Structure 1
Amino acid sequence: MKERVSILDGNTFLVCDRRGDIEPSFDFPTGLFSFDTRFLSTWLLTLNGQRLHTLSIDDAESYRTRFFLVPGEPTHYLDAKVSVIRSRSIGGSFAEELTVLNHSEQEVGFTLRLDMAADFADLFEIKHQRQKKGRSVPTVRDGELRIGYQREAFHREVVVSTSAPGDIDEQGMTFRIRVAPHGEWTTRLHVATVIYGARGEDIRATLPLGGHRSAGAIHAEQDELLNRAPQLGCDCQPLAGAYRRSLNDLAALRYESITLGVRLLAAGLPWFMTLFGRDSIFTSLQVLPFLPELISPTILMLAGLQGSRLDDFRDEEPGKILHELRYGETAGFEEQPHSPYYGSADTSPLFVVLLDEYERWTGDATMVRQLEFQARGALDWIDSYGDLLGTGYVWYRTRNPETGLQNQCWKDSWDSISYRDGRLPGFPRATCELQGYAYDAKLRGARLARTFWNDPAYADRLEREAAALKERFNRDFWIPDREYYALALDPEGKQVDALSSNIGHLLWSGIVDDSRAGRIAEHLLGPRLFSGWGVRTLADDEGRYNPIGYHVGTVWPFDNSIIAWGLWKYGFREEAGRICEAILDASRYFDGRLPEAFAGYERDLTDYPVQYPTACSPQAWSAGTPLLLLRVMLGLEPQGEHLIIDPAVPDGMGRVELLDIPGRWGRVDALGRSRTPHDHRDKH
């Protein structure tokens, strides 16, 4: 597999190969992207007609990268007389400084060429290999290469300029240069991405931050964010590295909404650089104890875009919280339903869970009162449109069989929900974790109604409904001879009996009967589900198990963080610690940046976690994982105006100290130590 290198600042990002080049490709998509459009599809550097070879890459920061290059292919003995440094940064626009260094004792002439092209492909067109329907025109004017694209009112443009004189044509720029002995030559290239509005203006110029920022401004903002977060001191280097990397990535994933001008967290690079209901909610839950001020814009945005009508194309229903919001061409022309799309059965109950958790941490009663209508709407959705079969469970079936998602739970790939023998059930489906989320939402909604909405009767009703749901669920989903909960119910109400990681989400929601929690914990940490690096999405003896299948055997860090939280809630502190330990161990092999998913191979088989080939990285809820694991290990739980701290640090991890944890209590410190001291010789 080719290795990608990326830089990003919010919704503008660049993905290239290890030479820094961008080439048109569908199996290995690279390019300069902004708001769901690829503005550069070719950016290819040659020196005297030769491609360059990478000596080293400096990519320590998310928004800038340096490539150290020499011409030709690598050989055992390399004595290059010339080298090239590509220094690039991103901040709404893209800038690259090219430096050619002559290492010989004579003046040398070089021809430096950058091939450039823009296909203005929508992300969905790249994923599904569709042809463009608009017209693209390159022009050379006033020392710039301008490539414009238009399809009716949809108008985008990329403008490339250079600081050094060169020959500019419609396919790129050529520089014929002479470099003195041991001298150097430099040019600075600037690439502006323009998103035109209905009146011909650049939309991003109207945003509060102007859509374009310098590298210095980005660095200052990220530093300011890191300084606001609690300070971690610990003996465990994987934890320290993952925490720092996560905060950096979360800062980099913040972007300005092109519609409302607020700062939100994008879900992940490269495919999900936008607002996602489920991803944004889970990430918010992970981040809340560390940077609570990042959360309120997401809650308000989700509330503001809550479904208000029946729209089969978008899977929209009154009270439903969105799944995904897109800004690209295919959404604009309704070739995709993502403007926004509502194909999630879990976002509505999770919205109520987040709103309650947010108030418990921050004490922001104003927001809870402000969003009473939206929270009630989400709760009403559970029992109306969510209960498709009138059985008291949350079911899903897309209203849009053409382009709607089949699976509308977090495992939303087509084959993720199966019986043990690998068969797929029909629709509608009621996955187990949806019922847990609904149960939790009702209990949390009851607290909000009683405490803030002055409606004790509604609170009593929600609590009765939650109790009835828990009793019904433990009857209908429990498989007695296997002693775990079914993955789902099929349309006939029969159990979809595969063993999956979803049962860990049930612990988190609290719907598991206390008498059964121990058996669930044993399954989660047993050899069928636990790989040694984490809990697999599907047990290794199930019909559809595949260690490199997206939702049928891989290990998802986010999934494991929720499972660890659930184990902690039921008092399984040692088991929760094992998951924390495993995921943090895995993070070492990804330089602290946990990917979206990695392979579910047994740890003894590979000795290191194997990369999933197309995993998003960075991804928001993977970046949030070390934060939630910290909360679990330190036993952080808000109670009224106080923060309860009840640490259970895994053996051998040593000291874990988190200073200045923010919340309604002001700022407090937490300290935990493992029962056995940190051993510098062990895997930590």
Structure 2
Amino acid sequence: MSQTSTVRILDGNTFVVSEDTGDIEATPTEPTGLFSLDMRFLSTWVLTINGERLNALSYDDLQYYEARFFLVPGMATHYIDAKLSVIRERAVGGSFREQLTILNHDEKPVDLEIRMEAGADFADLFQVKDEILNKKGELYSEPEADRLRLGYRRGNFTRETVISSSAPARYDRQGFAYTIHLEPNQQWDTRIDVQTIAVGPGGRDLRMGLRAHGTERLALQHDLEEWLRNAPKVNTQHEELGSTYRRSLIDLAALRFSPISLGGAALPAAGLPWFMTMFGRDSILTCLQTLPFTPTMSTTTLRILAALQGTRIDDFREEDPGRILHEMRYGETAAFEEQPHTPYYGSVDATPLFVVLLDEYEKWTGDAALVKELEQESRAALKWIDDYADLVGNGYIWYERRNTDTGLENQCWKDSWDSVSYRDGKLPPFPRATCEVQGYAYDAKMRAARLAREFWDDPEYADRLEREAAQLKERFNRDFWVEDGEFYALALDPDGRQCDVLSSNIGHLLWSGIVDHDRAEKIAQHLVGPRLFSGWGVRTLAEGEVRYNPIGYHNGTIWPFDNSFIAWGLRRYGFAEESAIIASGILDAATYFQGRLPEAFGGYPRELTKFPVEYPTACSPQAWSTGTPMLLLRTMLGLEPHEGHLAVEPRLPIGMGRIEVLDIPGRWGRVDAFARGRLEIEEPTG
């Protein structure tokens, strides 16, 4: 199925990917179907009338949780004047519902045989992603008088799809059918309900703990309206920026994920289709991006991650005391420990970033109670940095997977297998210490020192953290600096040899504050120089490096989230013009994606392609891409909490015009921020 014909609707824990006719014909390795809790509950959902497939006239998926498909019988190549119209309206929200309407435009009555082929392979999302479908349990199909029950059973692990209809239907093992008679200009319709059931140990339905607001379309609509109403309003002369901001807010609402048995609170899921679940790194970075706009999401993220913080040493899950999880899954492969994601702790950046978010959250909200509530979890995270992450014993955070079967090799944000290399293209041995993670550790210790001094009543601990941070900064600037290139190495190998390639990771060092000021200008020049900056954004790996590939996942593509933090870091060190250049490029790119920035796009030079080139398997929507326009807005307006107030120091890109951000929430209540940029380049006078 081509990407252009894909229609996606979602609501946190549940999503549907179909063709533009509304039909679902999934292969075992294709991410189409109805998914929930990391499993596919519908893999076949095909509508026919009198044995004939339908042709799409158009579809509408303007709301993230619903779609409408306008269809006629027959193929487009021989369409003249259809005598029937077919409308499929569907919505997700904890379950799946489809309203089917058929209208007879003929002058004569018609008799119709309407059939929906329905099937479920109950593929685990990991099996779909890895293109391996190996079911070890029993699939079953049980037609009843008033419903069709599709199911999968393996031990006490049970998943079921229960299909029922408001109009009487005939159910069989492969689907259900109706025989109807329509007079001229008559209409027939039925509501089809698809309920997903996930039974765990003890026979408990795991879905009982999920958000209940999505049970009805009206509730979803009201929920979205309230979400938008509570967010700051953005008014701007740059119309595309306004529409991109609104698209991001709506997508962020769609990506709210409610972990099982944690009270229905929501945090951002990482992205559709592969990562509709809880991720430590992704959720934290998204919350950092969106704090000025949706601060409550940070509250639940911090609490949920703290509740699942590591407490023991477990090599299968790569768990340590104090470590923040990487990923949580609920599918079959996780349940039977064929994957370690229950949860899996294999990331080295989520733990220091947890402390960073807690401090940034308090600066914005003034929520001292949460800082005190999470004191022990924060101390445990800092202890993990010192006691468990320093695998070499030289004061850096290192990683080397302990689960050698299914664990991640690279446990930084660039987690593909070939993302860390030397200048000659060879891959270094393990353990590895990537540069940006050392910056996160430095930032975490500096921020925790503030929290210890102001909220935990422990000035001695604060002093110690500041000394350790200063030592780390000095050591880092000595060991990671590449003299012949004047940039920081991507990583160190266990012998201290530099992975001496120029990468976007150096931009993260700026927002962490670990860069010596006398080197910051050179870093800024690299970030907007021709090797890294394409015109649309900063590439993950610089042009000219051996492993550079403009469509290499972490070796040359442009990641919008990456760029948003780079822009923020540039502002921190006073490089407002360079920050504006990056913001302008990413926001320009967003217009080519209808305001929805994907996970990544090609790193080709802007003058070569004239438009940003899509990366074929990029998640969309994706949480930290959704958060990108919000962090760029913060960066362009220079919004920073300062001594209990909101400081505003705008530096807009040329052409941006006037921007108003109204009702920015924080410890100050709600305030407005205004900025005006030059609409065009001013000609020199004299």
Pairwise TM-score range, normalised by the shorter structure: over 0.9
Correspondences of 1:306-455 after superposition (within 5 Å): 306-455=309-458
After superposition, the C-alpha distances for 1:281-322 in whole angstroms (9 at most, x for unaligned) are: 001101111111121111011111111111000010111110
CA contact (8 A) 2:162 2:194 kept: yes
1:672 partnered with 2:675: yes
> Could you tell me which amino acid in structure 1 is paired with residue 390 of structure 2?
D
Q: Counterpart of 2:590?
A: 587
Deviation, 1:594, is 0.9
Correspondences of 1:162-561 after superposition (within 5 Å): 162-205=165-208, 209-210=211-212, 212-261=214-263, 262-561=265-564
In 2: Cα distance, 1:93 partner to 1:502 partner: 41
SS at match of 2:24: coil
> Could you tell me which amino acid in structure 1 is paired with residue 463 of structure 2?
D
Deviation, 1:251, is 1.1
Q: Counterpart of 1:115?
A: 117
In 1: Cα distance, 2:561 partner to 2:310 partner: 27
In 2: Cα distance, 1:584 partner to 1:103 partner: 46
> Could you tell me which amino acid in structure 2 is paired with residue 513 of structure 1?
D
CA contact (8 A) 1:2 1:17 kept: no
SS at match of 2:380: helix
After superposition, the C-alpha distances for 1:12-48 in whole angstroms (9 at most, x for unaligned) are: 1111122211112245320111111111111112223
Deviation, 1:188, is 1.4
> Could you tell me which amino acid in structure 2 is paired with residue 381 of structure 1?
W
Any stretches of 5+ residues in structure 2 without a counterpart? Answer: none
Q: Counterpart of 2:54?
A: 52
Deviation, 1:419, is 1.7
Query: Which moves more between the two structures, 79-88 or 459-468?
Result: 79-88
Of 51, 61, 64, 1:62 maps to: 64
SS at match of 1:61: coil
In 2: Cα distance, 1:650 partner to 1:468 partner: 37
TM-score (norm 1): 0.97
Query: Which moves more between the two structures, 498-507 or 189-198?
Result: 189-198
In 2: Cα distance, 1:186 partner to 1:521 partner: 61
Q: How many residues align?
A: 678
1:18 partnered with 2:39: no
In 2: Cα distance, 1:227 partner to 1:677 partner: 33
In 1: Cα distance, 2:355 partner to 2:571 partner: 21
CA contact (8 A) 1:94 1:192 kept: yes
1:567 partnered with 2:542: no
Deviation, 1:202, is 2.8
In 1: Cα distance, 2:31 partner to 2:152 partner: 20
Query: Which moves more between the two structures, 17-26 or 669-678?
Result: 669-678
1:125 partnered with 2:127: yes
Query: Which moves more between the two structures, 431-440 or 112-121?
Result: 112-121
Any stretches of 5+ residues in structure 1 without a counterpart? Answer: 680-684
CA contact (8 A) 1:595 1:619 kept: yes
CA contact (8 A) 2:28 2:133 kept: no
After superposition, the C-alpha distances for 1:426-479 in whole angstroms (9 at most, x for unaligned) are: 100011101110111110111111111111111111111111111111111111
Query: Which moves more between the two structures, 24-33 or 314-323?
Result: 24-33
Deviation, 1:176, is 2.6
Deviation, 1:417, is 0.8
SS at match of 2:133: coil
Deviation, 1:494, is 0.4
Q: Counterpart of 1:682?
A: none
* Identical pairs, percent: 63
CA contact (8 A) 1:235 1:678 kept: no
> Any runs of at least 4 consecutive aligned residues in structure 1 with deviations exceeding 4 A, and if so which?
none
CA contact (8 A) 2:419 2:554 kept: yes
CA contact (8 A) 2:214 2:220 kept: no
SS at match of 1:348: helix
In 2: Cα distance, 1:213 partner to 1:77 partner: 38
In 1: Cα distance, 2:80 partner to 2:439 partner: 61
TM-score (norm 2): 0.96
CA contact (8 A) 1:236 1:678 kept: no
Deviation, 1:82, is 2.4
Q: Describe the shift of the 1:205–1:309 C-alpha distance in structure 2 as closer, same or farther (beyond 3 A).
A: closer
SS at match of 1:155: strand
> Could you tell me which amino acid in structure 2 is paired with residue 249 of structure 1?
D
SS at match of 1:156: strand
In 1: Cα distance, 2:628 partner to 2:237 partner: 19
CA contact (8 A) 2:113 2:177 kept: yes
After superposition, the C-alpha distances for 1:312-342 in whole angstroms (9 at most, x for unaligned) are: 0001011111001111111111110000000
> Could you tell me which amino acid in structure 2 is paired with residue 525 of structure 1?
V
Of 657, 662, 665, 1:662 maps to: 665
SS at match of 2:670: strand
SS at match of 1:160: strand
Q: Describe the shift of the 1:277–1:580 C-alpha distance in structure 2 as closer, same or farther (beyond 3 A).
A: same
Q: Counterpart of 1:155?
A: 158
1:646 partnered with 2:649: yes
Query: Which moves more between the two structures, 336-345 or 489-498?
Result: 489-498
> Could you tell me which amino acid in structure 2 is paired with residue 135 of structure 1?
E
